[in-house]
Chains A and B, each alone.
Chain A
Amino acid sequence: MEILNAFQYALSPYPMLWIFIGVASGIFVGAIPGLGGGMLMALTVPLTFSMDSTHAILLLMGMHVGSVSGGLISATLLKMPGTPSAMMTTLDGYPMAQKGQPGKALSLGIGASLFGGIISGIFLLALAPPLATFAHKFGPWEYFTMVLMALVLIASITQGSMLKGLMAATLGLLAAMPGLNESDGQLRLTYGFESMDDGFNLLPVLLGIFVMSQIIKDALQINKKGVGVAIKKGERIFPKFREWKQHTVNILRSSCIGTWVGILPGIGASISSMVSYGIAKTFSKTPEKFGTGHEEGIVAAESANNANAGGALIPLITIGIPGAPVDAILLGAMIMHQIQPGPLLFETNSPLVWSLMTGYLVANIVMFLIMVFSARFLAKVVSINRSYLIPIVFAFCLIGAYGPSNRMFDVWVVIGFGILGYFLDRAKFPLGPFVIGYVLAGIMESELRSGLQMSEGSFAPMITRPIAGSFTVIAFAFLGYSIYQEWRSRTRLSSEGLSTDA
């Protein structure tokens, strides 16, 4: 019954309007290389303070769904993924567009995105309620070990070096330390500056890491331009049923992979599309065609990255752990709107949870319709001059950071974290673990301290309690496996180097 009421609510005019605005702006921003969903969401959060909280969350979620899908357009037409999650789409989307079939490439991607989103939405509706019930069993040690596992997982699975992933997550934890400690009301690491008493607030940190660092990068790479492919007049973009039918297995498999990777705490859509692309290639009858404009490649990448968005909502709603870096913004927005995600949310704010889940499904359908009917227009937008965008985006940053607190200190935090984020990104430190570490630091510390009080200073419950023990074992197993993988890869590379030298 709740689900029907929620659908009725999500389809009513106001929520529908916010979903539409969210999805449309998400697609628009997602299509422009150098901008992204995280950036848009972080800039929008302060504007939602005067809104109804459910509408605000639906708007932000719509932006998330739209931006993941919008990345497809520039990936296909410019060979520049609008969002990192569309990276794998460029491998086959652009070659297909170059072969004179940009409309077909887009139609395959749009159709796959819709199915990926719908399938993960079904998983979300089916899995979130029982998982929330299960999470009722969690105590401080379970939460602490789960956050530990999430941080290890994101740092290990993230692209590039595991060491850098771990470092980024730890730096995120450290960034959350200064200011008033909520556990005992103690001020720490303020170094005598009154402005530091509140610490580094969530929004300025997110704006700095997601937006300011990207602005600096965009200015540095202002000469980077894609070689565009235009959509011919009269070329079909609406996907054909026959094409979908032909890719049923690929869509189902990639959507399941995307959803599953999304459920794993902290791992973003880029990993989903990479994994499902690789698996689609392995199972394909024509693996040699991958990377040359193959339909299966586009379908696998696009259905997985959209499915990831739905999967990532599951841990966010049920246990309050963001499933992907962008979900950290959604988590932050919920907290700012006095909504505490976690197992109790189903009891304390059940209508919001169900509206969010059904709204996610509606957002995917809205995304499909907007993409199909506006792809031609968006194809022109993708190459918009960044000289106009960069100053406007920073002005939005200033409003977003200054507006809620009326403190210029927060604007300096944006600039400071932007510079830090830029250098970390330049040195290939992933920014996702940083954001997740920052967002989860508070829970991690308070749960550890509560746990230690209960156990009188003993860390043994990390192992002796069954659920906490499982999380600890998974965390250490992952860490061990990643270290082994890194060592093996180094050994292989050095032996390859030796044989080349010989």
Chain B
Amino acid sequence: MASPSRTPKLDLSISGALVALSVFVLWGTKEIPPPFFDPIGSAAFPKYTAYIIIALSLAIALRASLALRKPNSPRKKSFREEPLLAISVVITSALYVLSMQWELLSFRWATLVFIFLLSALLSKFEKRVMIFSAIIGIVFGFGGQYLFTEVFYMDLPQ
């Protein structure tokens, strides 16, 4: 079950971010009025949770810094990772959401463009995938709009 940290640098970064988040939560709890009918009130639970997160973050950071001191041979992966693709998935998804939030596109057109674009990116513009993804985009964009609004009675961005 137990093992030394295999991702010490990431652990340190996450611990730091979580301590900052906890401080932000503790600052937020100051706005909560004191309890008026029960002993602990609404601020207590987030406060306790934030304190526990700080304590655990420090323990994880300590463990990670101990692991950093030891020479660690990186494990070789059997495949090449594509961090740029992962980032592009997040960015494309965010643009897809924004296009509808700012009412630039309706669900059907935004979905069509999104499916085509992201499939093309992920397949590194492979011609066959692009053709199929265009078809899928049309079917999902227009068919999906009909299915979800008319059959499942859900509102989608118009």
Contact = CB atoms under 8 A, between A and B. Distances in A.
What is the predominant secondary structure among interface residues of chain A facing chain B? helix
B41 to A, nearest CB: 8
Nearest to B94: A415
Interface of B: 1-7, 10-11, 14, 18, 21, 25, 28-29, 31-33, 35-43, 45-46, 49-50, 52-53, 56-57, 59-60, 63, 70, 78-83, 85-86, 88-90, 93-94, 96-97, 100-101, 111, 114-115, 118-119, 122-123, 126, 129, 132-133, 136, 140, 144, 148, 152-157
Contacts of A219: 82, 85-86, 88-89, 122
Nearest to B43: A188
A49 B151 CA distance: 12
A224 to B, nearest CB: 4
Contacts of B133: 387-388, 391
* Interface hub of B2, B18, B81, B155 (most chain A Cβ within 10 A): B2
A164 B88 CA distance: 28
B21 to A, nearest CB: 8
- Give the top 3 A-B pairs by smallest Cβ distance, nearest first: A486-B2, A403-B154, A457-B39
Interface in A152-184: 156-157, 159-164, 166-167, 170-171, 173-174, 177, 181, 183-184
Given A222-B85, A403-B156, A426 B122 contact: no
Interface of A: 46-47, 49-50, 156-157, 159-164, 166-167, 170-171, 173-174, 177, 181, 183-184, 186, 188-189, 191, 212, 215-217, 219-225, 385-388, 390-392, 394-395, 398-399, 402-404, 406, 408, 411-412, 415, 418-419, 422-424, 426-429, 441, 445, 448-449, 452-453, 456-457, 482, 485-490, 493, 497
8 contacts: A161-B3, A170-B53, A215-B89, A390-B122, A395-B144, A408-B101, A449-B40, A490-B2
B38 A191 contact: no
B157 A163 contact: no
B148 A392 contact: no
A388 B90 CA distance: 16
A277 to B, nearest CB: 15
* Interface hub of A157, A386, A411 (most chain B Cβ within 10 A): A411
Contact of A50 (B2, B5, B152): B152
B29 A387 contact: no
Given A386-B122, A395-B115, A170 B89 contact: no
Contacts of A166: 52, 56
A161 B148 CA distance: 42
Contacts of A183: 38, 42
B83 A391 contact: no
A225 B10 contact: no
B156 A490 contact: no
B10 A426 contact: yes
Contacts of A411: 97
Nearest to B21: A174
A173 B49 contact: yes
